[in-house]
Structure 1
Amino acid sequence: MAEIHGTAVPGFEEVREGFSLGQRDDGGAAQLAVYQDGELVVDLWTGGDPVSGRAAGGDALTVVMSVTKGVLATCVHMLARRGLLDLDAPVAAYWPEFAARGKAGITVSDLLAHRSGLSGLVRGGEPDWFDWDACVHALAEAAPLWEPGTAVWYHTFTYGHLLGEVVRRVTGLTPGEAVAELVSRPLGLDLWIGLPEEQEHRFVPQYSDRPPTTEAEAVALLSGWGFDPEDPLVGATIGAHLSVDASISGFNTRRAHAAQVPAANGVSDARSLARMYAAVIGEVDGVRLLDDAAVARAAAPRTDGLPAPAPFDRLPSQDPTRFGLGYELPRGGLPMLGPGSFGHAGAGGRLAYAQPATGTAVAYTCARMTWPKTGPDPRWAPWTEALRRAVPPGGR
């Protein structure tokens, strides 16, 4: 069994055992934190950096990939709650240049629910994702890849720049500044989009046992499935996949940490992510980020019944991704704590979410990125089952 550090309060001892079991064959740094009714009840960590040999503590930081999307969504809902942003309004109401090329009717909700038709940019023409102005300009000039609102397809990197620019237009703050002001400072979180240089010593690099996919391999795979790589959506999807693979090592650099890629390059620890979600669904040390009405709106299904856009609508899907407004919802590959849960997973196995019915908030971070072909990450399963037993329906 993995050597586990940290604490689990009485009633949550099996969660500690489950975390140890899940990390048994991993070896990389990992953390698990659980808040119950506003209190930290599980705070565990294990492993280290296999490159340097340095052990990683409970305050170690790592890139959390698409878990960052849930952080940005929380900021957007906070602005809506304060009356600064209408989620049903056209994006162009806040960002006039965005209306170009058939995008005038796209709403903020369409961006949050991955329905906007802007899941990627034309392959070969993607800007540097670390260059905010170039990305925003490219998105304002882009045409939707399908009729907005009629289909759903994951906005891998574009999600962060699209919603982040809306946040910037509304508040005058960059997405990283908005996260700091609205979320991190009130709750005392170690959570950044744009990591301060003085925190670099705490960072643990991410790594993967799987070699990166080459462009030729991605093209061959999709061609083998009968898709034309020259189709704009197919090409954009190839580009997004290659960007994720490039980020595995690329996001370990200081340049990547200092940049703002609010779909993917958030840096945090499990304690902070769980604390944020705890404050989304309830009060934590006098701070609550969203009220019950905002939570219900954010977690309501927004894509159930929507197809994938052509030509990907031909793909069989037994476990389609489900979205609320900015958050993922439970499905076979992402069970969380069952119906009513909401949050976001991140590439390679990161995860953070809340379950309002039980008053539970959970976060898992890891440095070793794994890629199960089907189903949820096996590392989650033992502690998730233990957590379900520790927190029965209706809370404690």
Structure 2
Amino acid sequence: MVTVEGTSTARFEPVRAALEANLASGEELGASIAVDVDGVMEVDLWGGHADEARAVAWHRDTAVGLWSTTKTLSSLAALVLVDRGALDLHRPVAHYWPEFAARGKQDIEVRHVLAHTSGLSGWQQPFTMDDLYDWPTASARLARQEPWWEPGSASGYHMQTQGQLVGELVRRVSGRTLTEFVDTEIARPLDADVQIGAREADWPRIAALVPPPQPPALPAGLDAEAVFTRTLLGSPARDEHVDTPRWRRAELGAVNGHGNARGLARALSAISRRGEANGVRLLSPDTVDKIFDVQADGVDLFLGVPVRWGIGYALADPRTMPHMPTGTICFWVGRGGSIVLMDLDRRITFAYTMNRLGEGILGSQRTHDYLRHVYEALDAAA
């Protein structure tokens, strides 16, 4: 029998029961769930196994690759710099990164990068993993590239480029890498077990990701000029690259963060609690409010589903997240189902990480089920 460890208050027992059921059925391999309610960690659960052979238990401090949930940390780093006046959301990226003005990009603003509306949702081919792992090359290629649609007119999810774009801005204005900035300005002050890449000392506690069955090959006749096609082919990182030394040593602010649900909840509760968490004022309330300035609201050119993008995060939208209520809520998800959600009306932060990747565009069925249980518990207690 698989045991779920950790703590949960009585009202969130259905969340524990759901995790236990998924672990018992094998739907989950290993996972962690956290719910912070106005600074109180009412749910801090973990269980299962850190490896597919089920030889290593998932412990309290087990970490896992976050895939695109990493973007929540990179966006938070950018917002910290906005709050300090080092970045201006409405200034051109080229103000901080002059080379970026090439090929008609002189008017692309910082907010466009954070809202996936810059037109740079992938790298122009050919572009390889070797190129992605080389920071100067990956940045220079984006600086020389022309947008694939009119910037600001629509969103096209920057699946793997957003970390490069945000990371380059962080480097230009702070003098530190995104990895260093997240560590020194977010993770350490908030005592949050999260990082971009992974320190080698932490490798033994990282759970191996287990991908779902491989999807079929792209159908013949796919429009080579479509944003979807160009983004997919221009985003080289795949499941086979994860959990390798090069991946963990790299700085890929869109996809290679590592942490667990407790760490994500501790870090991102700074948004849910309007800028202050764990005794640290990270953002002003005015900066937090900027997140909810809608930048795009429609079918995303890459994801193919409706997404309401604010600054750095998607905003609550029942069209794509049916168990999420409307309100002052922002969130993002990672491949396979990991999520961190910040609900400012209720001052809660919900996070979920796992190593068996599920299917789905915005979260897996497990993601949606846990989310439903969290909000049912909150509604019942209201």
Q: TM-score, normalised by structure 2?
A: 0.91
| Residues 1:383 and 2:348 aligned together | no
Amino acid at match of 2:168: E
The count of residues paired between Structure 1 and Structure 2 equals 375
Amino acid at match of 1:45: W
C-alpha contact 1:37 1:359 (8 A) present in aligned 2: yes
Equivalents in 2 of 1:297, 1:323: separation in Å?
12
Equivalents in 1 of 2:251, 2:349: separation in Å?
26
Equivalents in 2 of 1:252, 1:219: separation in Å?
29
Structure 2 residue aligned with 1:354: 342
| 3-state secondary structure, aligned to 2:353 | strand
Amino acid at match of 2:277: V
Structure 2 residue aligned with 1:274: 265
C-alpha contact 1:2 1:21 (8 A) present in aligned 2: no
Structure 2 unmatched ranges of 5 or more: none
Q: Which moved more, 1:148-157 or 1:325-334?
A: 325-334
Amino acid at match of 1:158: T
Equivalents in 1 of 2:98, 2:323: separation in Å?
38
Structure 2 residue aligned with 1:16: 16
Equivalents in 1 of 2:69, 2:199: separation in Å?
19
Deviations 1:31-74 (A, max 9, x none): 10110011111011121111362111121111101111111111
Identity %: 34
Amino acid at match of 2:186: V
Q: Compute the displacement of 1:337 (Å).
A: 3.7
| 3-state secondary structure, aligned to 1:274 | helix
Match of 1:122 among 124, 144, 167: 124
C-alpha contact 2:331 2:342 (8 A) present in aligned 1: yes
Structure 1 unmatched ranges of 5 or more: none
C-alpha contact 1:280 1:288 (8 A) present in aligned 2: no
- What does 1:244-393 align with in structure 2 at a 5 Å threshold? 244=237, 246=238, 248-282=239-273, 283-305=276-298, 319-331=305-317, 332-335=319-322, 337-339=324-326, 340-372=328-360, 376-392=363-379
Q: TM-score, normalised by structure 1?
A: 0.88
Match of 1:236 among 211, 216, 230: 230
Equivalents in 2 of 1:269, 1:202: separation in Å?
11
C-alpha contact 2:323 2:372 (8 A) present in aligned 1: no
Amino acid at match of 2:120: L
Equivalents in 2 of 1:95, 1:384: separation in Å?
39
Match of 2:145 among 139, 142, 147: 142
Q: Compute the displacement of 1:376 (Å).
A: 4.8
Structure 2 residue aligned with 1:7: 7
Distance 1:4 1:286, change over 3 A: same
Distance 1:269 1:167, change over 3 A: same
Q: Which moved more, 1:190-199 or 1:274-283?
A: 274-283
Deviations 1:263-306 (A, max 9, x none): 0000111100011121223233311322322222113322115x
Q: Compute the displacement of 1:389 (Å).
A: 2.8
Q: Which moved more, 1:127-136 or 1:356-365?
A: 127-136
Q: Compute the displacement of 1:120 (Å).
A: 0.7
Deviations 1:244-263 (A, max 9, x none): 5x2x2311112111110000
Query: Root-mean-square deviation (CA), in Å?
Result: 2.3
C-alpha contact 2:196 2:251 (8 A) present in aligned 1: yes
Q: Compute the displacement of 1:359 (Å).
A: 0.8
Equivalents in 2 of 1:348, 1:285: separation in Å?
29
Equivalents in 2 of 1:291, 1:333: separation in Å?
29
Distance 1:165 1:370, change over 3 A: same
